[in-house]
Structure 1
Amino acid sequence: MAKWDQRDPRWIVEVRPDGTNVNNWHWVEKNATTWSKNKITELLCGLVIQDDEYFCEITEVTKLEGEATANNRKAKLIFFYEWDIKADWSGKLKSDSTKYKGKLDVPNLSEENDEEDLDVNVSVEDSSNTAYKVKEFMRCEGTKIIQKQLGEYIKCLKEEYSQGIILPTKDNQLGVGEQKTSSGQNLAKQEMNRAINGIQGDIPHDINDIPCKTLKVKEDFICSVEDLYRALTTRELMSAFTNSEVVCETDPPGNFSLYSGFVTGQFLELVPSKKIVQKWRLKSWPEGHYSEVTIELDSNGDTTTMNLTQKNVPEKEFDNTQDGWSRHYWARIKQIFGYGAQLF
């Protein structure tokens, strides 16, 4: 029992603008499930695992079941998360164009397991000897990279998503979860991204020092030129074929963001039903590096021909970028809107 005039500080109301949860004493829970699904998908979808001989990529996260919460009790942060993750992947020898498809799953992503203890199970559909070699590369090298990516999810959950959950007191203007990211943490992120994407050595001081190539693509669609233009410039239609939240500001220079921020850039020029010019990058590219994408549309009656020219694609990301356009843009647009070849 407290002595006379010696008050328990837990019960003293501090000067707070909102007057709630004094001294952070009460339990506060913040649902992180939706944020976690977007973050895990962003970290895994399109992830490339490669060396001089092999090229593998996670093409789609097919299952993401579980939940996550961030909690504050007595000014202490507590995190609960449990996820069952399944994904599709493809891979090939760099000396051969034949691609092999497979599946992977991570059944035990939870607070009970450290990053290096996460299980990554990998399988391949083909039974050939080459397919087995590609699968083994994905299992051995891919496991380490996937573990690092999911470790990044855990780090972001604790450092970014927890912001604001511990409220400021009169003597502590920032809660534990609101501390600014240090330059050391930013450097660590850069190092991790470079390691994952096979970028060796220091980040170039001059962005022009990055070896680049130009990508050219021609694709035919069974639709009017107006329909294809709308699919590439309308937020609702872009959200439909990407199955993700989309930012689309079409008043140049307007920003755009697809696949939970994995693809970002700006519209530089728009000529309705004729031409689209974009400043464009993948999140996995070297920091600050953008390409220039020019999409030209030609009407052929009931069909439309799309010609894409993309300048300044990082050489190490060229195959990944080319495959990404094919799989995540053109194939998805044809599938979702029915603009592909008709089957009889």
Structure 2
Amino acid sequence: MAKWGQGDPRWIVEERADATNVNNWHWTERDATSWSKTKLKEVLVGLVVEGEAGRCEISDLKRVEGEASCNSRKGKLIFFYEWNLRLSWRGTVKQSGEKHKGSVEIPNLSEENEVDDTEINVSKKKGEGDVLKDLMRTEGTTKVREALRDYLKALKTEFTLGMILPTKATVGQELAAEQKLSGDTTQDSVLPESLDVIGVKIPTVKIIMREFFNCPAEELYSIFTTKELVQKFSKCPAVIEAEKGGRLQMFDGSVSGEYTELVPSQRIVLKWRCRSWPEEHYAMVGLNFKAVGAQTEVQLECQGVPVSNEDGTRHCWKKQYFEEIGRLLLQRSTDTME
């Protein structure tokens, strides 16, 4: 029998926050199919392609067949995905104002091929308007490939939150690396909070981000607290009970929490967590709204983020919250002018 502290490190559980899958040794698998279907629709539908010939837009994801999964083994992530996609597009010829429709077929998006090598076929319904078909074959194909890269990046960061669990050794290495790289101060900052990984405690960081939006503070506040507007920018059903103690649930349950403080047009405080985080672990999120001329600055402070989930959490707020809210505001502004 091995002496205490000298056994196989794969079975040492007292130094793990959750005492499961020690040192990330064992094979774990997570089905990414449902999440991927939502994400593919998010990154592709609404994609706009403009050129001298006219303007086209991806209007619908007509077919999404396939599956995706992520596996963890010995601390490494392995991705499997295979998709057969069919998109609908519609466009307007700049010179004549004629409107045309077509489709984009992506028969085999998989880990076996690079995105640049993935086959993308553009077609158009009968009639004139081949200039739009050419536009979609060139600039449109480029935009679609960029969107597919966004999906794959999110799959490998956002979806995998919590799959590689922190160990005592890696936590020290990650924090040391962060401290070494933090010599230059940037707009967004990360502040280490704890190095203690004993018992049920887990190492966490604080994320600070700032973003500017072209709208009044009261309008931006309402986007964060009104169910219909949250569902518009998140493109998913949501539970929004914007009152102290009220529930929050977004992105098909990937994010949940509770409102702890609301000051209209000024401040929102949340208990906030991602589904993949250790059970019952929440971060405290503060959103402060500050008028700066015709714009509103949002100051985000997210305290208590698990160290291993820092990048994914930052990506979630940047891509799924801030950028999508920016698109919603732009769309509302365009609708108003029309």
Using structure 2 for the length normalisation, give the TM-score: 0.54
Report Cα offsets for 1:57-116 as digits up to 9, x if no partner: 110001111111111101111111111111111112123321101111111111111111
- TM superposition shift of 1:289: 7.4
Structure-to-structure mapping, 1:212-231, within 5 angstroms = none
CA change 1:72–1:134 in 2 (3 A) is same
Aligned pair partner of 2:167 in 150, 169, 174? 169
SS of the aligned residue for 2:61 comes to strand
Residue in structure 1 matched with residue 51 of structure 2 by the alignment: 51
Counterparts of 2:16 and 2:251, CA distance in 1: 39
Residue 245 (structure 1) aligned with residue 252 (structure 2): no
Q: Is the Cα contact below 8 Å between 2:45 and 2:60 reproduced in 1?
A: yes
Residue in structure 1 matched with residue 302 of structure 2 by the alignment: none
Residue in structure 2 matched with residue 105 of structure 1 by the alignment: 105
Counterparts of 1:47 and 1:292, CA distance in 2: 14
Counterparts of 1:93 and 1:257, CA distance in 2: 42
Residue 139 (structure 1) aligned with residue 144 (structure 2): no
SS of the aligned residue for 2:40 comes to helix
Root-mean-square deviation (CA, aligned residues, Å) is: 4.7
Counterparts of 2:102 and 2:330, CA distance in 1: 33
Counterparts of 1:26 and 1:64, CA distance in 2: 32
Counterparts of 2:55 and 2:322, CA distance in 1: 15
SS of the aligned residue for 1:150 comes to helix
Q: Is the Cα contact below 8 Å between 1:168 and 1:175 reproduced in 2?
A: no
Which residue type is aligned with residue 113 of structure 1?
A: N
Counterparts of 2:84 and 2:47, CA distance in 1: 18
Residue in structure 2 matched with residue 91 of structure 1 by the alignment: 91
CA change 1:288–1:132 in 2 (3 A) is closer
CA change 1:234–1:158 in 2 (3 A) is closer
- TM superposition shift of 1:9: 3.1
Larger Cα-atom Rg: 1
Q: Is the Cα contact below 8 Å between 1:104 and 1:123 reproduced in 2?
A: yes
Report Cα offsets for 1:167-198 as digits up to 9, x if no partner: 1112233999xx99x99xx99xxxxxxxxxxx
Q: Would you say how many aligned residue pairs link Structure 1 and Structure 2? A: 227
Which residue type is aligned with residue 173 of structure 1?
A: V
Report Cα offsets for 1:142-171 as digits up to 9, x if no partner: 111101110111111111111100111122
Counterparts of 1:15 and 1:234, CA distance in 2: 41
Using structure 1 for the length normalisation, give the TM-score: 0.54
Query: 5+ unaligned residues in a row in structure 1: which ranges?
Result: 188-204, 210-232, 261-266, 269-278, 294-309, 323-344
Query: 5+ unaligned residues in a row in structure 2: which ranges?
Result: 188-210, 216-225, 253-263, 266-295, 297-319
Residue in structure 1 matched with residue 68 of structure 2 by the alignment: 68
Q: Is the Cα contact below 8 Å between 2:13 and 2:20 reproduced in 1?
A: no
- TM superposition shift of 1:20: 1.1
Structure-to-structure mapping, 1:1-344, within 5 angstroms = 7-128=7-128, 131-173=129-171, 245-247=236-238, 249=240, 288=326, 291=329, 312-313=333-334
- TM superposition shift of 1:14: 4.5
Counterparts of 1:136 and 1:86, CA distance in 2: 18
- TM superposition shift of 1:249: 4.8
What percent identity do the matched residue pairs reach? 39
SS of the aligned residue for 1:171 comes to helix
Counterparts of 1:286 and 1:53, CA distance in 2: 28
